[in-house]
């Protein structure tokens, strides 16, 4: 199957759900990204800032770039001019740096709070309590150049589909609770639930994902 065929197949399987496809292009060469672009898939996810910047420089400028991997504060400045969404906000300090760099670029950058949902120890993310701490803080409320528009989570890497489903359902329930508790403001407009990867995006879509991040099912294994 070609990249275009894979994209078409995934988009077909997502039809009727609320999930939109983000093609995860990390480690893949420019030709692969161009093939996805030519198949009208123009939303890309990268997990390293440097690599995303290099690809942004050479590819068409109507691509929406999403940073999905763990992010260090000192890297934010490199992508602040163009990044469309940052999925991996896991501290107030990082959010402050994004706000600062977005201001320098006269932009508002959309962000998701990465929530820890997996059983494994290895994943980054906030606990639900830590997410509440951020949303309730005066520091966050005063930020003008970021907008928190939802949450992101990664399920446990397991063949146990029921486990994965329970974790996705938990994230959606948490998101619904946040929406009920926090009224929309300029910098808080909850509408996105980023969950689901190549192995579990259909389960995620069934559980209310709005953004699935799919790499290997489009481009082959890394």
Ligand X SMILES: *Cc1c(COP(=O)(O)O)cnc(C)c1O
Which residues lie near ligand X (CB under 6 A)? 24, 26, 47, 68-69, 154, 197-199, 213-217
Q: For residues 71 and 131, which CB has a smaller minimum distance to ligand X in the complex?
A: 71
Q: Least Å distance between CB 70 and ligand X?
A: 8
Q: Least Å distance between CB 103 and ligand X?
A: 26
Q: Least Å distance between CB 148 and ligand X?
A: 18
Cα 148 to Cα 31: distance, rounded to the nearest angstrom: 33
Q: Least Å distance between CB 171 and ligand X?
A: 14
Q: Least Å distance between CB 134 and ligand X?
A: 20
Q: For residues 68 and 76, which CB has a smaller minimum distance to ligand X in the complex?
A: 68
Crossing angle (nearest 10°) for helices 128-136 and 92-104: 50
Q: What's the half-sphere exposure (Cβ side, CA atoms, 13 Å) at 132?
A: 8
Q: Least Å distance between CB 69 and ligand X?
A: 5
Q: For residues 28 and 172, which CB has a smaller minimum distance to ligand X in the complex?
A: 28
Q: For residues 43 and 105, which CB has a smaller minimum distance to ligand X in the complex?
A: 43
Q: Least Å distance between CB 180 and ligand X?
A: 27
Cα 108 to Cα 147: distance, rounded to the nearest angstrom: 7
Long-range contacts of 135-141 (CB under 8 A, 24+ apart): 135/178, 135/182, 135/188, 137/92, 139/92, 139/96, 140/92, 140/95, 140/187, 141/185, 141/187
* Residue at shortest CB range from ligand X: 215
CA-CA-CA-CA torsion sign (62, 63, 66, 72) = negative
Q: For residues 114 and 187, which CB has a smaller minimum distance to ligand X in the complex?
A: 114
DSSP labels, 106-125 = T--EEEEEEB---SSSS---
Q: For residues 8 and 182, which CB has a smaller minimum distance to ligand X in the complex?
A: 8
Count of CB atoms within 10 A of residue 118's CB?
Answer: 17
Q: For residues 150 and 215, which CB has a smaller minimum distance to ligand X in the complex?
A: 215
All residues at 6 or more sequence positions from 34 whose CB lies less than 8 Å from its CB, including other chains: 59
Residue 139, beta-bridge partner list: none
């Amino acid at each position: 199957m070609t990249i275009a065929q894979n994209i078409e197949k995934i988009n077909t399987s997502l039809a009727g759900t609320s999930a939109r496809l983000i093609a995860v292009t990390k480690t893949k060469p420019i030709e692969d990204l161009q093939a996805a672009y030519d198949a009208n898939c123009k939303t890309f996810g990268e997990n390293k800032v440097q690599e995303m910047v290099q690809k942004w420089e050479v590819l068409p400028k109507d691509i929406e770039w999403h940073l999905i991997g763990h992010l260090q504060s000192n890297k934010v400045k490199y992508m602040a001019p163009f990044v469309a969404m940052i999925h991996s906000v896991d501290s107030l300090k990082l959010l402050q740096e994004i706000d600062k760099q977005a201001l320098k670029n006269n932009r508002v950058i959309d962000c998701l709070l990465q929530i820890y949902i997996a059983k494994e120890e290895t994943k980054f993310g906030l606990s639900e309590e830590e997410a509440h701490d951020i949303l309730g803080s005066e520091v966050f409320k005063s930020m003008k150049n970021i907008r928190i528009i939802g949450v992101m989570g990664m399920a446990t890497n397991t063949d146990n589909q029921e486990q994965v489903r329970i974790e996705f359902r938990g994230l959606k329930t948490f998101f619904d609770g946040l929406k009920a508790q926090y009224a929309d403001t300029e910098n808080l407009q909850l509408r996105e639930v980023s969950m689901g990867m190549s192995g579990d995006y259909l389960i995620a879509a069934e559980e209310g994902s709005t953004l699935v991040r799919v790499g290997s099912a489009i481009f082959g294994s890394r």
